[in-house]
Structure 1
Amino acid sequence: MGAVSFEALAFGKTADDAFRNAVEDAKHMHGHGGYTGTIVEKSSFEVIPKREHHGKQKRRYAHQLIEDGDERIQRKRGPAGAINCSGTNAAIRYRKQHELEGKHGDVRLFFGWVAH
């Protein structure tokens, strides 16, 4: 069994809410069968502090952490990474596509490696 990288945007009032929403969305799209290659395989996440990604493109930074084998997110059975994307163009598009404008919460990018 190998590993693949994944990324998922999700909205929530808290990081925990956004993580649960990302997992539920992936279950709906990819099923519950295991080894989906999605965030469904993750049970936890680690927030990447804003000071690390401030002023950087969020997806590009996430990809860099994956490529660099950052110890926080390098294990396929370990936690996902989480970056708050609120205020970015991707977050604005996500809110619009999901009719979330004006709702309290943040769009977060979850990413890392999963078993596949």
Structure 2
Amino acid sequence: MKNSTLSSRKHRSLETKKKLLHAGYTIFIRNGFQKTTITQIIKHAETGYGTAYVYFKNKDDLLIILMEDVMNQFYDIAERSFSPQTKEEAHKMIQNQVSAFL
């Protein structure tokens, strides 16, 4: 019973953090980083202030986590094998990698 409660709590915690990250991404895209406030992010995520500050010190901290995720996605794509036989094949592979990244 104790393990399932802990597991459930951890799951909720991860979901809350994801909601905050998604809200941050959405608001940053909409308003730009400078015009975005942590209050806007918290309201969009529908979480409490105390909860948000458990995961992130401020909006800068949230942006860093988002950027790390983007960079990890980029590295995953960049590490894929690239050995085209023709120029057309190279072009198609590049298009696929760019599409996967975006």
Pairwise same-fold verdict (TM > 0.5): no
Structure-2-length-normalised TM-score = 0.27
Structure-1-length-normalised TM-score = 0.25
Higher fraction of strand = 1
More relative contact order in 1 or in 2 (CA 8 Å, sep 6+)? 1
Q: From the CA coordinates, give the structure whose radius of gyration is larger.
A: 2
